[in-house]
Structure 1
């Protein structure tokens, strides 16, 4: 039949060129077919071979291989990335292999290409979700474990290698499959790899038996629910937790091998007390107590939270972030701190770093200072022996001051860096809630004391300014109640002042009556009127010493010369004074007390404001005046007592000369004798006789001039290494007389334009 068909076909003769074209066409067609269908054919053949291989393998051999893979290098791999606009793989992307699903982690060498202050580093990308859950529980501070592709810096894992070793040690000793495991392995699985649901009691029996196993490790459970946004424990079953532990063991081995040389080098550097810039990340650990220098120049400690390499002001730096504690006036709060170590070449002494390990000696020092800080965290009247600090400015402030952080914040709102936390302005319910949360005290044995800074905030009565106060230079105030005895004042005046202040301070048996309106008229207002140098300021000081309270001196110029300014300043001053329970002295208050007139509207406004604010002050207020012509009638009913200080007579001046000379170390006839020194005997003559005192008292001098003359004479005697005598006092008085004559001559020339003209 074929021959018959062939006989019917026409005979065609092909030339060689035509045959070549047909051959080429066949080759092209075959190549195209292989390109299109070849991969599918090869894949099908490969799958078939894999199936045959799996069917021939024994179950026991597969289990052993999986156990080997769990600790083998084929459970992790390496790759490189470079930073451009994000992390990009250096190698060309390849199709993900099927067995990549078994990769536990990828070790990625990341490079910034030398265009950043950042350091190249090794990044661990976690592919296992059970390992991710366990690491999230252990590294609660790390946000990168929450990313779509979770991971973390290998250096962090190295720093936590001790904890990784502890977890790796929890891997169950026996990995042999139990009978229950065999039953579970034979359970049919769904196509996505999960166990297919089963019915009947077999599943329950397996579950009960698994609960009684002791070879497996239970995951830790959270004991008490926490308000913190961190997991109470890894949300893993017992089987998943054990798998995570095996993967932790693999990760720990990798980290140990990878950083072996770093560990060896770091050990040598530590032994020598040196460190290199590139190994700072391994030298300073998260959670360590570090020592640094406070802005005041004193040492302080903080707890390290994080570190990073980067750039600051065009220079490469190693940046450390940490936390410390500070009193806000209401509670202790954590404050952030940043320290930067500039790049250095070679090695550097570890103790020379701007942030360094806290030594045992420094720990003890900071604990002692922290106790002082905690003791004075509040409102305290103290004496001080150093500078008060305002940013970069330091002012000498030896003397008395108030420690009061809350008032500092109120009087210096631009310097208030804390959140608003005054419980007095909360509702009672919210105040109870917040105070329960606030940390308002620290015990003497709490090691957090080292985290307290060297300064508290307050006000210096000497420098008349607010600022930071070094707590190491604070001491209790040595009050001098005998100052009242130095007042050269009528006895009935002294008795009246002392009785009033005692009754107002509550030292008596019953309290003084107040105004019908609550909070009004409860203060004690004393007006002292007289010429300078008669004892008005000394009276205020005597009241302060007698009550053992601070003396807050404010001049009229500090309060302001405009009504709007006066009202706010005076209110703040009196309210702060009330908090301190201070005796407030407004010196030279003439402008506020003098009678109002129809042609001085601005001063009238000042008097009105002063009257209104004064009405509601509840503390002790002393006002002094010098040249007032007449008091405004509205004030007369508001004064608790008004005293006029007469000019000193000769007898008063005798008393003052004798007292001030005795205070200067001289022996004065008729005055209470001072202690006899080793160079003196009971028969040693007095430095000043009664005749000397009478001669000095003959001069019409006020109390302030007498005090200054005695002080200057004492300085002359000390300079000459001689006892204070009449010679030194007369020398000072001669110079003073000469100055007075010169002053009169200058004044005469200024008032007489014809004098001195030719």
Structure 2
């Protein structure tokens, strides 16, 4: 039926006037029928019309729906395509253009300007003048009763739910005040509609808008959907979850911040190790659906949207899908504000893939003096530094006879817990300016097939990122093979094969240095054994953690026989207590904790 109307009212150039029709859905025959509106056109029943205003009415529900406008005038079609260019306004490029009547309300100021310009010409085009006047007349008649109240609301910075649509002309700059990460997001408004929910759910105003996103493959514009829940009475525009930028109380400052953030975002399209301190977002499956969940991520992260997509190709965090691609160097400066507020990557501390707020990401400050924290002889410290420098040159030098082998640096650290094995791995990472990827043997699995896949996936990513890989408690993979131990021997074989082809720095820790398979001995480049800390070693650890406390005071607690990890935990607990008491950390607080610890070990209470 809509096609028949189009044929009847789309002559080479209409004679003028506006036809109003209702497109009514009948429950009787389940068909849509065009019915002349109760409003009678001034141009008469049989005129060829400049505009056709079509209101949809579903008799099942009874209430009138939205009104769409079909523009039959070539002059008006050109003007609307000009003003709506780049706004992705649905229907403007149809022949003839057909779109929501609210577009006319938003474009009235532009049409008034065009009318004034045309009338000011030496020889105005009478047809253009008549066509524009026809639209303006329709707008004033159709919205006349509401226009004054709308203008008054806007002047006072207020709005009603029914008039939300008046805030959002096509292509306008809007702000989502804060998402799950508490960050503002700038978008270009595309379209909006009121949604009536069934089953008692709250109705809302749905917004389609676009932003600049990198989805792991392409950079460009993608569309997202936002909602403004219904509300009663009037509401401050600045209090809306999404609003036009011009109504934001700190418009100028916000625009500057968004511009700076956009420039930063374009630096994160590739792969980069960064520092992060704040909340990240991951996808978690709950009650038959995937939902966004926050997690705290402090420390090193790897920004890598492409790797995220390889790992989780169907994840919702990749959205919005890019439909209009653009090269990074071609992003206009004024569009930088529309860049996504978060990037995809991996948190090394939490071992989670997620999205991270651009504003919470900073550069890594590598610790060149990291080796000073090791309780090692100067000879061993120097050896570690030399190995790191030597490995850097080896990566571009000698290869094994079999291509792909021989470019790893493998270290084995043995000793009791808390003696400095993990700290050594951290120092290796700092000196080589690489992120540290830590995994325990238990996380890799003990089934042969699971282990092989886990090692392959992990080592591929570690190689991609250039990490130092630390596999803690690796004795299950290093244990001597014995006759009859088929499963254990298979685990060792899988690990040995993966180790041979690994390209990078890998450090293994074990508490069982005497139980290592002979095949590993020729593949390990350096081995350190860590004895339990003596009193002087413990004093050195205390000094590392608490340089502000006098050495004499620290010496008074160095006799407590605890390991390095326990010293770290004691300092953390004492710091928490001092903060709660609003006082400085003292050796007395440390001694109280240590006395309690000793009492528990001796008495079990």
Aligned equivalents of 2:583, 2:312: Cα separation in 1: 48
2:426–2:436: 8 Å Cα contact kept in structure 1?
A: yes
The answer for the alignment partner of 1:736 in structure 2 is 597
Cα displacement string for residues 271-322 of structure 1 (whole angstroms, at most 9, x for unaligned residues):
1222233322222111111112323333212111012233234554332211
Aligned equivalents of 1:129, 1:665: Cα separation in 2: 80
Displacement of 1:326 after TM fit? Answer: 2.0
Instruction: Tell me the TM-score normalised to structure 2 length.
Output: 0.81
Counterparts of residues 76-475 of structure 1 (less than 5 Å): 76-84=18-26, 85=30, 87-91=32-36, 103-108=48-53, 110=55, 112=57, 115-116=60-61, 120-127=65-72, 141=88, 144=91, 151-169=98-116, 171=118, 243=127, 246-292=130-176, 293-314=178-199, 315-358=202-245, 359=248, 360=251, 361-391=253-283, 392-415=292-315, 418=318, 438-441=326-329, 446-475=333-362
The 3-state SS of whatever aligns with 2:471 is: strand
* 2:396 is aligned with 1:515: no
Higher relative contact order, structure no. (Cα contacts within 8 Å, ≥ 6 residues apart): 2
The 3-state SS of whatever aligns with 1:736 is: helix
Displacement of 1:129 after TM fit? Answer: 6.1
The answer for the alignment partner of 1:201 in structure 2 is none
Aligned equivalents of 1:125, 1:332: Cα separation in 2: 35
Cα displacement string for residues 538-566 of structure 1 (whole angstroms, at most 9, x for unaligned residues):
11111122223211111111112112222
1:528–1:642: 8 Å Cα contact kept in structure 2?
A: yes
Alignment match of 1:687 (pick from 526, 549, 553): 553
2:22–2:57: 8 Å Cα contact kept in structure 1?
A: no
Aligned equivalents of 1:598, 1:76: Cα separation in 2: 94
Aligned equivalents of 2:137, 2:589: Cα separation in 1: 88
1:481–1:542: 8 Å Cα contact kept in structure 2?
A: no
Structure 1 pair 704/134, CA: closer, same or farther in 2 (3 Å)? closer
Displacement of 1:523 after TM fit? Answer: 1.4
Larger radius of gyration: 1
Aligned equivalents of 1:728, 1:277: Cα separation in 2: 59
Give the unaligned 5+ runs of structure 1: 1-69, 93-97, 175-213, 218-241, 423-433, 670-685, 747-758
Cα displacement string for residues 392-426 of structure 1 (whole angstroms, at most 9, x for unaligned residues):
4222323332222222223333426659999xxxx
Cα displacement string for residues 484-529 of structure 1 (whole angstroms, at most 9, x for unaligned residues):
12322233332222211111124x9x95522133332211111112
The answer for the alignment partner of 2:460 in structure 1 is 575
Alignment match of 2:542 (pick from 656, 660, 664): 660
Aligned equivalents of 1:647, 1:115: Cα separation in 2: 82
Aligned equivalents of 1:437, 1:344: Cα separation in 2: 37
How many residues matched?
567
Aligned equivalents of 1:473, 1:135: Cα separation in 2: 42
Structure 1 pair 131/611, CA: closer, same or farther in 2 (3 Å)? same
Aligned equivalents of 1:278, 1:137: Cα separation in 2: 29
Aligned equivalents of 1:368, 1:80: Cα separation in 2: 50
Displacement of 1:714 after TM fit? Answer: 6.9
Aligned equivalents of 2:319, 2:277: Cα separation in 1: 31
Counterparts of residues 26-41 of structure 1 (less than 5 Å): none
Counterparts of residues 483-522 of structure 1 (less than 5 Å): 483-506=370-393, 512-522=397-407
Aligned equivalents of 2:161, 2:104: Cα separation in 1: 20
Structure 1 stretch displaced more, 253-262 or 447-456: 253-262
2:89–2:191: 8 Å Cα contact kept in structure 1?
A: no
The answer for the alignment partner of 1:207 in structure 2 is none
Q: Which structure shows the higher helix fraction?
A: 1
The answer for the alignment partner of 2:3 in structure 1 is none
Counterparts of residues 574-653 of structure 1 (less than 5 Å): 574-648=459-533, 650=534, 653=535
The answer for the alignment partner of 1:238 in structure 2 is none
Q: Which structure shows the higher strand fraction?
A: 2
2:539–2:554: 8 Å Cα contact kept in structure 1?
A: no
Structure 1 pair 118/405, CA: closer, same or farther in 2 (3 Å)? farther
Aligned equivalents of 2:586, 2:189: Cα separation in 1: 61
Aligned equivalents of 2:548, 2:90: Cα separation in 1: 76
Structure 1 pair 394/172, CA: closer, same or farther in 2 (3 Å)? closer
